[in-house]
Structure 1
Amino acid sequence: MKKLIFFVVLSIQFVYAQKKSVPVIDDKVIKVDTLLWDLKTLSKAPEIEWINKTGNVYSLFYKGVDYNGKPTQVFAYYSNPDLILGKPQSKTKFPGVVLLHGGGGKAFKEWVEKWAAEGYAAIAMDFSGKQDDVKAYTMPGPEQGDLDKFQKLETGSDFKNMWTYQAVANAILAHSLLLSFPEVEISKTCLTGISWGGYLTCLVGSLDNRFKAAAPVYGCAFYDESDIFKVPLEKLSPAVRKKWTKYFDPSSYLAYAKPQFLFVNGNKDRFYNVVPYDKTYKLIPEAQRSMCLIPNMNHGHEAGWEPHEIRYFFESVIDHAPSLPKVKQIVQKDSVLNVSYSSPVSIWTADFYYSNDTTSLNETRVWSSKKVQIDPKTKTLFCPVPKEGFKYGFFYLKDHRNISASSEFIIK
């Protein structure tokens, strides 16, 4: 009899856990005249079908938004700190993270493993509908090429059949699903994405205010000013290009974002160049944004998930852990740049990177650097202005945790 009661209670607890209340996105703060996404509907956890629930990373399908009037399924990987250790599910609650891949990518199992090992319940989904390690992918959405991202709008395609609409909606659904899991701490979910996934992070982080922190890597707004992405946009008629920008460029939404943002990029990225990148982060209030410009950072999925600054940033937001260093103010006095900074850990090294190259593409621009004097007592950096001057510049700092941060770009 006692055993029966125990199993009844356990069953009730299980059912209750599965009916965990998921918070609803507050769409009233997004003050655009037409909002494509039904954020209240997307706030509901989607139906799921587990493909594999063995090993340290599970795989599943969840129901996506309709595409061309037909239902879709989205493939995803999921893990958490218990699973990664091969332990039975505990009563511990974990922070969560949603992982958005870039162009030509997929749901990366390794990325989920990394975040689960670092203490997070992590989900990564596939935006292409062609996950090569899944055989039974019968209801995919749009593909990742320029046709589905740009050109179909010229032919009168419904906005909701465009890749960006589908990817944003399915990323928000993944967050809703994550929030429905009993082991996930509702008040501690974060978002990061790489390249096109960074672009999506700007959009999703602006629309889904249930996230507490977001870290777009490379990706930014103002696609019409990108060395690369302005090319397919310029193939559209002016009216259609204007529509694409209105509905699908992050510049239309970032001003309404609520999470704390960490912007991670290199100074020579091929796809996301200095000027539009600078304009992008300035759409977020200064107190709400942090910077990590990494000199000569490579562009790629592995390079994009490598910076451990992202995890330190998330923990500073959701757990009030020590923050990243932060450049506060840059003032030029005579021929010296004086930089005030804050940091919970003393600064180890500081450099000033600068360039006068205004004719090269972003990825081939020539940069120089010089060491910077650090005054730990006043928390000030001192750097003589280069004799040749500079058009673009930024300060790059590392503390004694080997955690880096930077100033914003200085553009003259």
Structure 2
Amino acid sequence: MKFLFLVFLLGSTVAFAQKKTVPVIQTQAIKVDSLLWDLKALSKAPAVEWLSQTGTVHSLLYRSVDYQGKPTQVFAYYSNPDLIRGKATGKRQFPGVVLLHGGGGKAFREWVEKWAADGYAAIAMDFGGKGPDGQRLAQAGPDQGADEKFYHLEKAALNDMWTYHAVSSGILAHSLLLSRPEVDVTKTAVTGISWGGYLTCLVASLDNRFKAAAPVYGCGYYDESDVFKEMISKLSAGSARKWMKFFDPSTYLPYAQPRFLFVNGNTDRFYNVVPYHKTYSLVPASQRTICLIPDMAHGHEAGWVPHEIRYFFESVLNEGVPLVQVSPVSVQDSTLRFSYQSPVSVLTAEFYYSNDTTSPNEHRVWSKQKATIDPKTQTITSPLPKEGFQYGFFALKDHRNVAVSSSFVFK
């Protein structure tokens, strides 16, 4: 009996020693006067109910924060490079990525497949309280309609609003990912599309365990959006101020610690030029890269297609070759000029510009002209357009066909 007890004790000791420690969010870095989220509680891995652990992508429910006083669960898909190849998860560790869908979206299995095939442990969750069949879960959180995002603020508590729950569920998905033995806790990133890009700005600002973030389309200053300002304008003045204080990314981005890749088009319907420029300007230039893709379509598939996101994550997490780094644009002798740094030669450079200040962002008319690349001095120049411009930006591609851009330039 003594021998058996000793074996049990040793086995328990080894198991305890091998238990993985999940890092805790450093809340002192977020210097807002009233922090809505309990980030220490969200740092803990949530309880999980696996629905399927067979095949190349697994499905699960995980516990999230209470909604209207009742517990909730969130549906998610998970995979990693071993699973996607039909292998049992082994001893290798992978970087991790959290995937946040946009408005009207869901937990996209194919998005998880893409990132698992690219070498990442990936998790994508549903922000509408629904399961894989599109039906409401028994323990569902808020739906993702305009009422839950905006109008319920007139009568609901802050912690019953959609943004509170979506941010909480995004951070808890990260905590779950970090708890898995096959995930390298020093190499995690987050990306999201449209409303998921908005959430990426919030989640990455609040959860400083992430090393990299790539919001697509989504940004802050919702009260200046061509579309969302209409929703905010329907709130009472007090509720509108409350929404902007607690739920707009502009409140939190100044404290963000991950490296950011901001991806958007120049004619996006929802996230237009001025608030987008104001949003990425909240992140120090040394901490951000901008990728404005001319005439980029708006949608989930269009938002996860840009391979720049993976190149960026690889440069931050796995010491990959960095994207082109662009300095601010200046005007000298009627010439637009900026310098760049890149270990990969720049292949193309163009200056896009517009004088259209009256059309909605999605209908704004843009023109373009070629720019001159001087590889010796790593300088790019373009003459000022004869007709002038009100908005402009340089779009570049290197010989990997990886795109970056300058910041927007305002005349």
Q: TM-score range by the shorter chain?
A: over 0.9
Cα distance, 1:360–1:51 mapped onto 2, change above 3 Å: same
Cα distance, 1:11–1:99 mapped onto 2, change above 3 Å: farther
Name the CA distance, whole Å, in 1 between partners of 2:109 and 2:17: 26
Query: C-alpha root-mean-square deviation of aligned residues, in Å?
Result: 1.8
Name the CA distance, whole Å, in 1 between partners of 2:231 and 2:119: 40
Secondary structure in 2 matching 1:46: coil
Secondary structure in 1 matching 2:175: helix
Give identity over the alignment, percent. 66
Residue of structure 2 in register with 1:82 after alignment: 82
Residue of structure 1 in register with 2:343 after alignment: 344
Secondary structure in 1 matching 2:220: coil
**CA deviation after TM superposition for structure 1 residue 382, in Å:** 1.4
Residue of structure 2 in register with 1:166 after alignment: 165
**CA deviation after TM superposition for structure 1 residue 277, in Å:** 0.3
Name the CA distance, whole Å, in 2 between partners of 1:11 and 1:359: 71
Q: Letter of the 2:26 partner, please give it.
A: D
Secondary structure in 1 matching 2:67: coil
Map 1:124-139 onto structure 2 (within 5 A).
124-133=124-133, 137-139=137-139
**How many pairs are equivalent?**
406
Q: Conserved in 2, the CA contact under 8 Å of 1:81 and 1:121?
A: yes
Name the CA distance, whole Å, in 2 between partners of 1:365 and 1:11: 67
Residue of structure 2 in register with 1:221 after alignment: 220
Render the CA deviation track for 1:231-251: whole Å, top value 9, x for unaligned.
Answer: 010000111100010000001
Q: Conserved in 2, the CA contact under 8 Å of 1:395 and 1:407?
A: yes
Name the CA distance, whole Å, in 1 between partners of 2:214 and 2:283: 13
* Greater CA drift, 11-20 or 359-368: 11-20
Structure 2 residue 261 is matched with structure 1 residue 253: no
**CA deviation after TM superposition for structure 1 residue 326, in Å:** 1.8
Cα distance, 1:401–1:92 mapped onto 2, change above 3 Å: same
Residue of structure 1 in register with 2:141 after alignment: 141
Cα distance, 1:383–1:183 mapped onto 2, change above 3 Å: same
Residue of structure 2 in register with 1:359 after alignment: 358
Q: Letter of the 1:88 partner, please give it.
A: A
Map 1:288-367 onto structure 2 (within 5 A).
288-367=287-366
**CA deviation after TM superposition for structure 1 residue 10, in Å:** 12
* Greater CA drift, 364-373 or 9-18: 9-18
Name the CA distance, whole Å, in 2 between partners of 1:243 and 1:23: 31
Secondary structure in 1 matching 2:144: coil
Secondary structure in 2 matching 1:232: helix
Residue of structure 2 in register with 1:200 after alignment: 199
Render the CA deviation track for 1:310-348: whole Å, top value 9, x for unaligned.
Answer: 011011111221111121132211111112111110011
Q: Letter of the 2:363 partner, please give it.
A: T
Name the CA distance, whole Å, in 1 between partners of 2:352 and 2:306: 19
Render the CA deviation track for 1:9-51: whole Å, top value 9, x for unaligned.
Answer: 9986995598311000000111111101000000000000100
Q: Conserved in 1, the CA contact under 8 Å of 2:144 and 2:162?
A: yes
Render the CA deviation track for 1:72-96: whole Å, top value 9, x for unaligned.
Answer: 0000000000000011211100000
Secondary structure in 1 matching 2:170: helix
Secondary structure in 1 matching 2:189: strand
Q: Conserved in 2, the CA contact under 8 Å of 1:338 and 1:380?
A: yes
Q: Note the residue ranges of structure 1 that are not aligned, 5 or more in a row.
A: none
**CA deviation after TM superposition for structure 1 residue 132, in Å:** 4.7
Q: Conserved in 2, the CA contact under 8 Å of 1:352 and 1:394?
A: yes
Q: Letter of the 2:96 partner, please give it.
A: G
Name the CA distance, whole Å, in 1 between partners of 2:394 and 2:137: 47
When normalised by structure 1's length, the TM-score is 0.96
**CA deviation after TM superposition for structure 1 residue 131, in Å:** 3.3
Q: Letter of the 1:343 partner, please give it.
A: S
Secondary structure in 2 matching 1:272: coil
Render the CA deviation track for 1:378-412: whole Å, top value 9, x for unaligned.
Answer: 11111011000000000000000010000010012
Cα distance, 1:134–1:355 mapped onto 2, change above 3 Å: closer
Structure 2 residue 400 is matched with structure 1 residue 401: yes
Cα distance, 1:8–1:50 mapped onto 2, change above 3 Å: farther
